[in-house]
Structure 1
Amino acid sequence: MAKAHDFYTQVLGFTKTFENGDPVGYMILKRDQGELHLSLQPTHQAASFNVAHLLVDDVDRLYARCVQHGLRVTKGLKNQEYGLRAFVFEDPDGNRIDVGQRI
């Protein structure tokens, strides 16, 4: 949980609004209108599909930040035919996150 907390707060700019347990097993993070709920799963295996989707105001900036922090980008940044400029990256636990900005 500490690794996830550090990533989502320091890299993506979320703020922790709630945590439960000792050690912490559940946490709520918030940024702007978005809320993210994290649960500790000691035997977690990352899925091979996107588990979260973010709409942002500056996708190019977030893409650059992900690259700067050495995150694995599984789908590169490009304009999609469905009206988003988008990319997919993996968080430090291997969870795939789809990020887009309306064109």
Structure 2
Amino acid sequence: MSIEPFIKCSNIKVSCSFYTETLDFKIIRAPDPDPQSFMSMYAFLERDGSFVHLSEHSGDGVFGNVIYIRVKDLNKIYNKFVKSGLKIQEKAGITMEPVTQTWGMKEFSILDPDGNRLTFGQNNE
């Protein structure tokens, strides 16, 4: 089984830049450059065999989604994101450094440009 979330965005170009430049996703299907095209508000991205759909379409999700992503080397991914421009924010801004949670997962969370939260976690055993 493969689960591919649709992530609501308000500006497809801004979201594509964040997901590709900061989070290292690759564009599989870029938005159609024709603003009249239905596909001008949609992008399909891939990273390490996982896929996400970015969409401005009204029926494709809501702002403020929470997506949990399990990874094998949390510190490596976190450091790569910071090198790629991820800004460390105050706790209210949600981006946080990796921390071991009481439930045994090491995690960090970030917000995308539209306030969707992405939490990356690694089993801390």
Where does the alignment leave 5 or more consecutive residues of structure 2 unmatched? 1-11
Are 2:9 and 1:9 aligned? Answer: no
Cross-structure match for 2:70? 55
Cross-structure match for 2:48? 32
Deviation at 1:25, TM superposition (A): 1.1
Distance 2:66 2:30 in 1: 21
* 1:70 alignment partner AA: K
Structure 1 runs (4+) deviating above 6 angstroms are: none
Cross-structure match for 2:86? 69
| TM-score, normalised by the number of residues in structure 2 | 0.64
Give the SS at the match of 1:87.
strand
8 Å CA contact retained: 2:88, 2:95? no
Q: How many residues align?
A: 100
8 Å CA contact retained: 1:51, 1:96? yes
8 Å CA contact retained: 2:25, 2:46? yes
Deviation at 1:94, TM superposition (A): 1.5
8 Å CA contact retained: 2:44, 2:54? yes
User: Hey, which of these two has a bigger chunk of strand by percent?
Assistant: 1
**CA RMSD for the aligned pairs?**
2.7
Work out the percentage of aligned pairs sharing the same amino acid.
30
Distance 2:121 2:53 in 1: 20
Give the SS at the match of 2:94.
strand
